[in-house]
Amino acid sequence: MKDLVIIGLLALIICFKLFDITSDIQLGIPQWHIAQEAMLLVLTVIGAMYLSYDLIRRSREVKALAKRLEHADKKIDNMSTQMRSARQEYSQAVSQQLETWGFTKSEQQVAFLLLKGLSFKEIAEVRQTKEKTVRQQASTIYGKAAVDGRHTFCAWFMEDFIQEHNQDIAANEAASSHKAA
């Protein structure tokens, strides 16, 4: 907006300068004065043209940036949708496994909170129970899952993801060494 005001003022100055030069010529003002004013007029026209060009260029850049930003926002929205969907599928897979192990509803709640990384004290506060009760439930959970503790329990649910990633790494390394040979 500021640029448009400046360009408008320069256009107004150009008009006044043209009027002034025309008047000076009619009044018989010395040639050096008319030449000086004509030079100022030319410089003003060049400045106005440069500002106009720059304004148009920046306007196009802003529009292009706005389009890229809109495209990025759509990607983020799609990714967020994918993440929500993946989280929901993962939660369902965890729930199914907990049911397969025969967890009670209460044990399932504690198991999810363990997987989220809450301490026994925090789980007790969330569930409005005693920490000792949570410890006993966690012990039962570990026994039903046939694991020796919280870390192994959490790792059990991540193992397939990590194993798949490790297989991808191994496959890439094998392909790289095959190309080198």
pLDDT at 167: 56
Cβ-contact 44, 11 below 8 angstroms: no
pLDDT at 23: 92
Tens-digit pLDDT profile for residues 12-31: 989 999 999 999 999 988 99
Task: Specify the pTM.
Answer: 0.50
Cα 96 to Cα 92: distance, rounded to the nearest angstrom: 6
* Local structure of residue 117 (DSSP, 8 states): T
Tokens of 60: 């196009």
pLDDT at 153: 94
Type of residue numbered 86: A
The parts of the chain modelled with pLDDT lower than 50 are none
Cα 42 to Cα 40: distance, rounded to the nearest angstrom: 5
Cβ-contact 60, 15 below 8 angstroms: no
Tens-digit pLDDT profile for residues 82-107: 788 888 888 898 999 999 999 999 99
